[in-house]
A and B are shown apart, each in its own frame.
Chain A
Amino acid sequence: MALYSEKVMDHFKNPRNVGVIENADGIGEVGNAKCGDIMKIYLKIENDVIADVKFETFGCGSAIASSSMATEMIKSKRLDEALELTNKAVAEALDGLPAHKMHCSVLAEEAIKSAIEDYYKKNGIKYDQDKFAKTNCRDHEE
C-alpha cells in the first residue's frame, strides 16, 4: 500500500504484544477519543527491567503499528534504556511514517513514558519530571 511501508502494515495486521497485564506495575494511557487516538501501555517490571509489556490502542494503522513497534523496542530493556526511546526511533524502525502520521509515534513514546512514570509514582521513586513532559493533542503535529 502506497500510504504505509510494509513494516507498518505488518505491525498493523500482526501487532505484537496486544493485551492487558493484570496487576501491572505501571500503566500509561495517553491521547483522547476526541482526537481519535488513545494508547494504553501495561508494564511488568522486575529488577528495573521491563519483563513484559502489553498495549491497547484505539487509533489508525499508524497508531497501532507505532504502539506495536514501541512495545517490541522496550521489551526486556532496563527502565532507563526504555526512557531513551524516541518517536523518531519508532518511526525509523517502521521504515518511516507519512509526515501527517508522525504524531502517532509521538503518542507511542508518551504512552510508554506515562507507564514508567506511573510505576515510579506507585513506588515512591524519585524521577526527573522534565523527562516526562506531555504534549497536547493538537501540539504534536510534526
Chain B
Amino acid sequence: MKTIYLDNAGTTKISERALKAYVETSEEFFGNPSSLHSVGQRAKEILEDAREKIAKCLNAEAREIYFTSGGSESDNQALRSCAEIGKRKGKKHVISTNVEHHAVLHTLEQLKKEGFEIELLPVDGEGLITAEQVKNAIREDTCLVSVMFANNEIGSIMPISEIGAVCREKGVYFHTDAVQAVGHIGIDVKESKIDLLSISAHKFHGPKGIGVLYAKKGIPLTPLIRGGAQENNKRAGTENLPAIVAMQVALQDACGKIGETEKRLKPLRDALVRGLSKIPHSVLNGPREKRLFNNVNFCFEGIEGEGLLLLLNEYGICASSGSACTSGSLDPSHVLLAIGREHEIAHGSLRLSLGEDTTEEDVKTTIEKVGEVVAYLRNMSPVWRDKTNGKQPFIL
C-alpha cells in the first residue's frame, strides 16, 4: 500500500541533495571549526561559507545569521533577547497574536511570569491580523512585536511587510516565526523590515535538529546556552556542521524553486479543498487566498480528529489534526478556537499539508478515503445522530 504523506507541515523528508551534503560534510570536514589546525580551519571555512549562502537566501548579512537547534530554540532566543533589552529600558510590553506556535506562546507565558505584559492580538475568522491592529497596540513601553509569517495549522499568511513597516516606524523590534513560510514564500528581511526571524530545516527538506535565528545587526542577543565562544558568543556549542551544510543546500533549493513548487501544488491543494468541501457539514479553516499553497485544514461536524487520523493511517494516508486527543491536552487547537470554531467542531479537524511528492492520484484517493472515514465515524457518533434527528442544531 502506498504511503500518501500529507503531513509536510509536521516534518519533511530530507532531500537527496541535502542528505548527500550531510554525509559528505561528515566525512570530509569533521574538524572543530574552533580548532587552530588545518582540519579545524577547513571546517571553519565551510561553516562560514554556509552562513554566507543562507544569509543570501534571506537577503541578510552573514553576521546576522546564528545557527540553533531549530525553530523552537530560535523563537526562544529571539523573544528572550528582546525582552532583556526591553527590561533594561523599562519597556515590558510585548505584542503577539493568539495563533502563534507554542514555542512562542509558552515563552511569552514564561515572560509574563517574569513581569512582562503580554498582549495577544486576536485574529479574525480567517486567522489574520492587520498591521493597523499592531499599530494601535504599540505603546511607549512596547519592546517587541512577534507575529508568525504563516500559520502552521491553517496556513494563513500574515501581512508581514506591513507589520514590519509599522514596527520600524515606531522603533519596536519585530520578530517573525517563519518556520512554515520558508520554501513557500520568498523572504526578504530587509524589504520586509524584519528584525528577527526563526527558521527550521526539517520543514524544508533539511535535516532535523538545526535551524537559524536571523537577528539584524545591532540587536544584542541573549545567549540561552553559555560556554564556548561560538556564534559570536551568542550560542555556545560546537557547530553541527553536517546539519548546517545540509540545511544550506535545502534552503537554497527550496528558495530557488518556490514558483515552480507553487505552480504544481496549488492546483492540487485547490482540488483537495473542492473535494473535501463536498462532504456535508464541513468547513475550511483559514483563508482561501492568503494561504500557504500546500496547506488544507478542515473541520467535520460530529466526529473527532484522532479517530479520523487513525483510520486514514490504515489507508496509508498520513495527516494531522487539531483535536485535543491528538495534542494530549484537554483543549483542542488554540488556532481553531482563535478563529471562532466551537470546541466540538475544533475536535473534528484534519490538516493535510502537501509535499513535493504529492500526486493528483494521491489527492483523489485522499478525498475518497476522507469521505468514507467521516461517514463511518459519523455513523457511530451520538453527536451526529442528535443533529440528523433534529435534536440538536447543526453548527456547520
Question: Could you say which of B304, B314, B380, B383 contacts A60, with CB atoms under 8 Å apart?
Answer: B304
- A99-142 contacts to B, CB under 8 A, are 100-101, 137-138
Bound complex: CA of A37 vs CA of B332, how far in Å? 12
Question: Could you say which of A12, A39, A137 contacts B310, with CB atoms under 8 Å apart?
Answer: A12
B330 adjacent to A40 (CB under 8 Å): no
Residue B307 at the chain A interface, CB threshold 8 Å = yes
Contact segment of B15-23, B233-241, B320-328: B320-328
B381 adjacent to A57 (CB under 8 Å): yes
Residue B130 at the chain A interface, CB threshold 8 Å = no
**Cβ-closest chain B residue relative to A54:** B380
Please judge, given known A-B contacts A12-B310, A36-B304, whether A29 and B325 are in contact too, CB under 8 Å: no
Please judge, given known A-B contacts A58-B302, A58-B304, A60-B304, whether A33 and B325 are in contact too, CB under 8 Å: no
Please judge, given known A-B contacts A12-B310, A36-B323, whether A58 and B383 are in contact too, CB under 8 Å: yes
Residues of chain B contacted by A36 (CB below 8 angstroms): 304, 323-325, 330, 332, 343-344, 347
Most chain B beta carbons < 10 A, residue from A15, A19, A57, A62:
A57
Please judge, given known A-B contacts A34-B344, A36-B332, A61-B306, whether A56 and B385 are in contact too, CB under 8 Å: yes
Contact with A along B360-389 (1 / 0, CB 8 A): 000000000000000000011111110000
Residues of chain B contacted by A33 (CB below 8 angstroms): 342-344, 347, 383
A59 adjacent to B379 (CB under 8 Å): no
A100 adjacent to B328 (CB under 8 Å): yes
A57 adjacent to B382 (CB under 8 Å): yes
B380 adjacent to A15 (CB under 8 Å): yes
Residue A64 at the chain B interface, CB threshold 8 Å = yes
Bound complex: CA of A40 vs CA of B382, how far in Å? 7
Residues of chain A contacted by B342 (CB below 8 angstroms): 33
Residues of chain B contacted by A39 (CB below 8 angstroms): 382
What does DSSP make chain B's interface, helix, strand, loop or mixed?
A: helix
Q: What's the minimum C-beta distance from A14 to chain B, rounded to whole angstroms?
A: 11
B310 adjacent to A61 (CB under 8 Å): yes
A59 adjacent to B311 (CB under 8 Å): no
* Total number of B residues with any Cβ neighbor in A under 8 Å: 28
Residue A83 at the chain B interface, CB threshold 8 Å = no
Residue A18 at the chain B interface, CB threshold 8 Å = yes
Q: What's the minimum C-beta distance from B347 to chain A, rounded to whole angstroms?
A: 4
Bound complex: CA of A40 vs CA of B386, how far in Å? 11
Question: Could you say which of A1, A20, A60 contacts B323, with CB atoms under 8 Å apart?
Answer: A60
B314 adjacent to A13 (CB under 8 Å): yes
A20 adjacent to B307 (CB under 8 Å): no
**Cβ-closest chain B residue relative to A41:** B382
Q: What's the minimum C-beta distance from A134 to chain B, rounded to whole angstroms?
A: 17
Bound complex: CA of A137 vs CA of B329, how far in Å? 12
A58 adjacent to B343 (CB under 8 Å): no
Residues of chain B contacted by A19 (CB below 8 angstroms): 380
Residue B303 at the chain A interface, CB threshold 8 Å = yes
Residue B313 at the chain A interface, CB threshold 8 Å = yes
- B96-133 contacts to A, CB under 8 A, are none
**Cβ-closest chain A residue relative to B384:** A58
B347 adjacent to A56 (CB under 8 Å): no
Residues of chain B contacted by A58 (CB below 8 angstroms): 302-304, 381-384
Contact with A along B51-64 (1 / 0, CB 8 A): 00000000000000
Question: Could you say which of B323, B330, B381, B382 contacts A138, with CB atoms under 8 Å apart?
Answer: B330
Residue A38 at the chain B interface, CB threshold 8 Å = yes
Question: Could you say which of B305, B307, B330, B347 contacts A12, with CB atoms under 8 Å apart?
Answer: B307
Bound complex: CA of A138 vs CA of B64, how far in Å? 46
Residues of chain B contacted by A1 (CB below 8 angstroms): 310, 313
**A36-B344, A38-B381 are known contacts; what are 14 more A-B pairs with Cβ within 8 Å?**
A1-B310, A1-B313, A20-B385, A35-B343, A37-B304, A40-B382, A56-B382, A56-B385, A57-B381, A58-B302, A58-B303, A59-B304, A59-B325, A60-B325
Listed in ascending order, the chain B residues whose CB lies under 8 Å from chain A are 302-307, 310-311, 313-314, 323-326, 328, 330, 332, 342-344, 347, 379-385
Q: Pick 27 A–B contacts, CB within 8 A, sort by A.
A: A1-B310, A9-B310, A13-B311, A19-B380, A29-B382, A33-B342, A33-B383, A35-B330, A36-B304, A36-B323, A36-B325, A36-B332, A36-B343, A36-B347, A55-B380, A57-B380, A57-B381, A58-B303, A58-B381, A60-B304, A60-B306, A60-B323, A61-B306, A61-B307, A61-B310, A63-B304, A63-B307
Listed in ascending order, the chain A residues whose CB lies under 8 Å from chain B are 1, 4, 9, 12-13, 15, 18-20, 29, 33-40, 55-64, 100-101, 137-138
Pairs of residues from A and B, 8 with the lowest C-beta to C-beta distance, nearest first? A33-B344, A60-B306, A60-B325, A56-B382, A40-B382, A36-B347, A34-B343, A58-B383
